[in-house]
Chains A and B, each alone.
Chain A
């Protein structure tokens, strides 16, 4: 309350500091629960039917690729003698014989390939490889790109100049060419490392081809992310909460990790999601030209490549991986678009 008789008096009115009465308290009650950034974004995302359908598709594909194979009676490298080149749902002579004896034979939903391997399980494993490549590569891009971009943007000046020149150079490198080159040459040292050095045998378990792909993608694809994060940090670091954190004595690492990167979370999520389909795209390209994941491990690209020879007689062998890969890429693209509209509408160009 301002005392109207002495409007310029500095004296405080004691009555202003009395505990609030019931009515006053009522007026301070928040009319509506405040909506957090996440809730707001998720609400908008949930309203987007296309994105929700795509999310459901991806979840189904994830179940198909990671859970179903453990219950499946066939394995991806198992060659069933006498069951070569079966059409979908067809049984071989032996299997018909077994069935006549009253034993149950699990059907080959999509037939078998020329080596007698069940196409369905190979499709599942191929999808698993594609999804793994897409998701792991994107997470690595997220990690490297965001930290690099944040450091360049936060420190600015000479640091920024040098760091961004490096980004510029890698950005102008024709990526597919260097990826092919690295894939061709990296296999030898990796196989060497896995066989001769103790403690590195996990490389063989995951597969040299996959490790190669991860390394190569991590080396080349982070630059786009770094650029986006840097430009966000440049504007964010001028804001008051950063000054406040500095005044309170927060370290640079804490400011970057706790205050700056959490504030560009929307951009990070959207860019990472949109990175997934492009990694899957590149992986299928590499497997198709024969330098991706090593046999007998299937990949959707290598399955398609192998099916080309018999395209006239067995078109479904090509269609299955082709449809699968298009479905995965399409769904991730649509989820990415949905997330962008929900969390980061400014990013839309």
Chain B
């Protein structure tokens, strides 16, 4: 077990290092430099600016400085376009917003997906199973921007039930969270249905029935606990999906989260902000994936540890 954990941690560190190095290299491959965008400043100003941000040093020194600052001091540098702000400030302002929406979306996706998948499997071949299959098949084919906009048109524009933008009241959360959880809920219900069907066909289910256990105990203690394992492995990709999916949802519903900060940093070519956000999100996803993988091995003793 310890060996597996060590291997997994090392792998994550290598990945994180790789992602941040790629990020750094790509950002400095872009010609022109960050200060040359719109109106060209004078040579003296340019020199002073480059000196201030350490851009006059050799690339390798800049790389070392950036990595040391980012990983050992947690300092991702200043933003270029939003004067006087650091990348850390922008992230710490946007991330809680995105985390609330994303967390709620993950919760809703699990709360919808797991029961739907189980109900479908328990009623295999009946009408309710077919309805759920159709729902989830359509659900994984519709991109989140389509869901967001359809929700917006129907619930806000036509029916005028919900507010369209911002996050002022709890009512504001309904549409973004629904839009973000639509795809994962469908995916989880498909996953849950097939794994539940597999579990229901196992010998230990028959044994449990033969022992005379109640339906309730069989379902929750024996079937659900085993069938839920594939959903646990999906938690890592799910987190990555909600974080990147929030780019779109936050753009549509004009939510001041990390996603919209990231998108505007791309259109503004604010390189330190792009780099900082990428490294932050990548670290989050990589660490969560690692924790999920380790948790999975802890939960399921049947899996061989290599």
Q: Which residues of A contact B (CB under 8 A)?
A: 165, 168-169, 172-174, 176-178, 180-182, 184-185, 188-189, 192, 277, 281, 284-285, 288-291, 301, 304-305, 308, 311-312, 315, 318, 322, 325-326, 329-330, 333-334, 348-349
Contact = CB atoms under 8 A, between A and B. Distances in A.
B13 to A, nearest CB: 10
Given A188-B30, A330-B137, A169 B274 contact: no
Nearest to A189: B29
Interface string B230-252: 10000000001000100110011
A181 B248 contact: no
B68 interface: no
B12 A176 contact: no
Interface in B200-243: 230, 240
B150 A185 contact: no
Q: Which secondary structure dominates where chain A touches chain B?
A: helix
Nearest to B269: A184
B176 to A, nearest CB: 14
Contacts of A288: 143, 145, 248
B146 A326 contact: yes
Interface string B275-291: 00010011001100110
Given A174-B240, A188-B31, A181 B26 contact: yes
Interface stretch (B14-22, B90-98, B103-111): B14-22
A168 B11 contact: yes
A294 B80 CA distance: 25
B278 A330 contact: no
B152 A311 contact: yes
A165 B133 CA distance: 37
Contacts, number: 120
Contact of A308 (B26, B149, B195, B286): B149
A177 B142 CA distance: 21
B37 interface: no
Nearest to B262: A180
Contacts of B266: 180, 184, 289-291
Interface residues of B, number: 47
Interface string B157-168: 100000000000
B179 to A, nearest CB: 13
B140 to A, nearest CB: 7
A173 B19 contact: yes
A304 B141 contact: no
12 contacts: A169-B11, A172-B15, A173-B15, A185-B27, A285-B244, A288-B248, A289-B266, A290-B263, A315-B153, A322-B146, A333-B141, A348-B194
A185 B248 CA distance: 20
Given A176-B240, A188-B29, 10 more contacts: A169-B11, A174-B244, A174-B282, A174-B286, A180-B266, A301-B145, A311-B153, A322-B146, A326-B146, A333-B141
Contacts of A188: 29-31
Given A174-B19, A322-B150, A312 B157 contact: yes
B138 interface: yes
* Interface core residue of B12, B31, B138, B266 (most chain A CB under 10 Å): B266
B141 A173 contact: no
Given A181-B26, A311-B157, A304 B149 contact: yes
Given A322-B146, A333-B140, A173 B248 contact: no
Given A172-B289, A176-B240, A333-B140, A289 B248 contact: yes
